Chains A and B, each alone.
Chain A
Amino acid sequence: MKRATQAAETSQVGRSVPRLESWLKVTGRAEYVHNLRLPGMLYGKIFRSSVAHGRIKRIDVSAARGLAGVHSVVTAAEVKTIVPEPYYGPAFHDQPVLAIDKVRHVGEPVAVVLASDPHVAEEAVQLITAEYEELPAVYDEVEAVTSKVIVHEALRPAGTFPDLKHLKGVKNTNVALDFRLRRGDAAKAMASADRVFEHRFRTQQVMHTPLEPIVSVAESTENSLTIHTASQSPSFVRIEIARLLGWPENRVRVRVPFVGGGFGAKLYIKLEALVAVLSLLARRPVKISLSMEEQFFTITKHASTFHIKSGVARDGRVVARECEVWWNGGAYADIGPRVTQKSGFTAPGPYDIANVAIDSYALYTNLPPAGALRGFGIPQLVWAYESHTDMIARELGIDPVDFRRRNLLRDGRPQATGTPMRDAAIEAVLERTAALLDWGKPFDRGSEPRRRGRGIAIGFKACIANTTSLAAVNVNADGSCTVYVSTVDMGQGSDTAMAQIAAEVLALPTEAVTVVHSDTDVTPFDMATLGSRSLFHTGNAVKLAAEDARAQLDALSKELGLSSDTPIADVFRKKYGMRAGSVTGVGNFIPPYSPPDANGQTENATPFWMVGATGVELEVDTETGRIEVTRLVNVADVGTPINPRIVETQLSGGSIMQLGFTLFEKMLFDGEGQLRNASLAEYKIPGMLDVPREIVNEAVVAEQRTGPYGAKGVGETATFGVSPAIANAVHDAVGVRITELPLSAEAVFQALARK
């Protein structure tokens, strides 16, 4: 296996420091909510809807209540005694703590059994029965636009996002957001283009599958609540639970230790509202741990349909592009409307196109809810526009890399929103990927039955805006340092990166810094750990906080007549006459942002751009349709890496995860909305044997001038190009074009048979 990452070596930043929690993780001692047990704790097990859409006629919990060892059984009726309006969600207040009157997808929580013994609770769940008046259901995102089946009687925007306010109380629609962008005149330019190309692409519904399944514990007193939760967004959880209960925020405490994988599954409210209400009802601590099966009914990645149309001039320049994207959000909006908009405005791809029209729709359907999954919708878009781009190039007889070069969105040029590109190494990333593939040089095409091909794809992403991170940095009397942030380390290495940043500012070894895990009573507000935003936002906040602490220490030294390079411990000793005291620096970071106008235009759409390209070499077995990726090349603009080894691991891991979404992962539903493969036995995720023989990961030399020490986020970047690069390589190998994910052996075999 060959790998490479470039980075400048400075003292703390730019150094591949082993993760601070290494010992804890290799000895099995890292703290996860999964492990948490509290005295007197009850376990909750959930009774779930067996129909996709129906009115609840009757729920019979009497047998469950009667089972020995059962503490109580809770339905929406009991929930309402604690929270009269028990609907939550970041974009819409549409999701009930437990189903009220209606169920909207198979697997929706309807009732909960509490017991001291989880096996008793599980047995009691089997004794609950429910009767539904079944209603017609809608599953397809395009059908949902015009369907007579309406998932929600009226839309209930949360009020947080200005672009959703117009949807308040709107009836008879499944459209939870209709994002629109217009730049130039796409229709006119299309009409005068030399050639017009039009294609439709689809992606499938998949699941995050964190190996620590979603889990929350709540403990309460009369007027306070502590929630221990495997969450990527502790600050949001506190605000939302406080809102539901009508309590001040300082009576709700949210703690998050290490998280066993998130990928977007553990955002916003998942089990937190439910355990909070159960704990207040039972007056005992309550824990709910989902099974792997239950995770499939809780949060997923949007299936999507993307209709893309391009007008191309005689010189091979794309002069117009129309994008229509439908996002299958399932029964509850979760963060889908933000995916629809924040990703939607990048739908034309990293190309310089004067005339663009984008319509991006968030749809309600009767499937399990969809949210953010490692890319916030970007992998679905890149799948379509980079397949489309390759199809145009091949049709025109232009080399696919050359065709991209002709159209690339270069530094300083306006993106579809009108925002000028800054610090986005699109060109460097494309060129480096092509070079690593030896593009333009002869290529061994194999022979029957194993045909070889190669492909390339490039994508980009805007970081979510408008968001805030705060940090505090404490320098202790012995010169050690404690960082307080609400960023959650779910495996991406944020603890280590934050420690490196603080250490760099304070001229300490990284190992002298500890990072306090999110605890809303202790750590300051942070929007959430999502969308590759933390290293940039929280990293900048930590840098500001450490600089504040450094300035205070310098002032103290000066006041004491000490030189500025006096060891910190000596400064405190001189000040207090013994080991005492501390200095606390604070940092508050919010980058500038301008909201889009009615045409999606803005001068400042994002604090930074992420750029990622993938090149693949693969073999297609023409007798079985099976694809074997033999070489995977991931190139990214991550700014200047803080920790090159962790950056490389993020790139590699992200690309392998996307390989699963590309080649085999798919949630299979029958005609009644029943999921047929909700277990790892039937839903396969990548294992050791699925990893390509050779993976090359490279960060191009780049700098994000507004980032901490030139750095920016990396968690999602390697997911962008994987799917279309593989489809393009399959076409290169065997001449068939597949427009729907996954590229399973069956799909390839059938396409070959139709050829």
Chain B
Amino acid sequence: MRRTVRFTLNGERVEAQVAPHETLVEVLRDAFGLYGARESCGQGLCGCCTIVVDGTAVSGCLYLATLADGAHVQTVEEGSELDAVQEAFIERAAFQCGFCTPGFVLMTRQLLAEHPDPSEEEIRHYLSGNLCRCATYPEIIEAVQLAARKRR
């Protein structure tokens, strides 16, 4: 039942044996030891499992791993240096327990790629699919605004 899936993971060509029901979060975790994308609600509603596939953020807990065949997959673990978004999250204390943070970081990168100078309204709407039970939302809004300035 398993088939070989080949894709680019954080810039490296990789392959994995994947069963048809396995999600991308499971494969990243079990085959590659990457834990930044994490399943929480299991329904694609909280954003904790955010993964970037071919430049678009997806809910990794719903995204079947076989669909990643041939794709470019990026996770929060990509790169060895902090980017402007991660630096801004630290400087603005925009996390508490940290469980949702990777999802917010990836979603913020996508937001800033589309809107380099987002209004508070745009930030709220763009990130409304990511949940933070510690409710660090005001700090996250500030961090996104700071990251936008850092990138200019």
Contact = CB atoms under 8 A, between A and B. Distances in A.
Interface string A202-215: 00000011111100
A28 B75 CA distance: 9
A37 B34 CA distance: 12
A687 interface: yes
A537 to B, nearest CB: 21
A18 interface: yes
A419 B130 CA distance: 45
B36 A28 contact: yes
A199 interface: no
A645 B124 contact: no
A697 B104 CA distance: 23
A21 B43 contact: no
A263 B102 CA distance: 21
Interface residues of B, number: 53
Contacts of B42: 291-293
Contacts, number: 162
A1 interface: yes
B51 to A, nearest CB: 11
A621 to B, nearest CB: 19
Contact of A28 (B101, B131, B135): B101
B133 interface: yes
B97 A18 contact: no
Contact of B97 (A26, A28, A491, A646): A491
Contact of A18 (B21, B91, B98, B100): B91
Contacts of A259: 97
Interface residues of A, number: 58
Nearest to A694: B138
A209 B133 contact: yes
Interface string A636-660: 0000000001100110111011000
A688 B128 contact: yes
Contacts of B134: 261, 491, 653, 657
A485 to B, nearest CB: 18
Given A18-B90, A691-B138, A26 B105 contact: yes
Contacts of B120: 1
Contact of B48 (A37, A211, A645): A211
Q: Which of A29, A208, A685, A688 has most chain B Cβ within 10 Å?
A: A688
B135 A27 contact: no
B79 to A, nearest CB: 9
A688 B128 CA distance: 5
A35 to B, nearest CB: 4
Interface string A13-30: 000101101111111111
B128 A687 contact: yes
A103 interface: no
A132 interface: no
Contact of B40 (A21, A27, A212, A681): A212
Q: Which of B99, B105, B120, B132 has most chain A Cβ within 10 Å?
A: B99
A211 B131 contact: yes
9 contacts: A23-B90, A26-B105, A35-B38, A211-B97, A259-B97, A292-B40, A649-B136, A649-B139, A688-B123
Closest 7 CB pairs of A and B: A28-B36, A491-B97, A260-B99, A25-B98, A491-B96, A656-B135, A28-B76
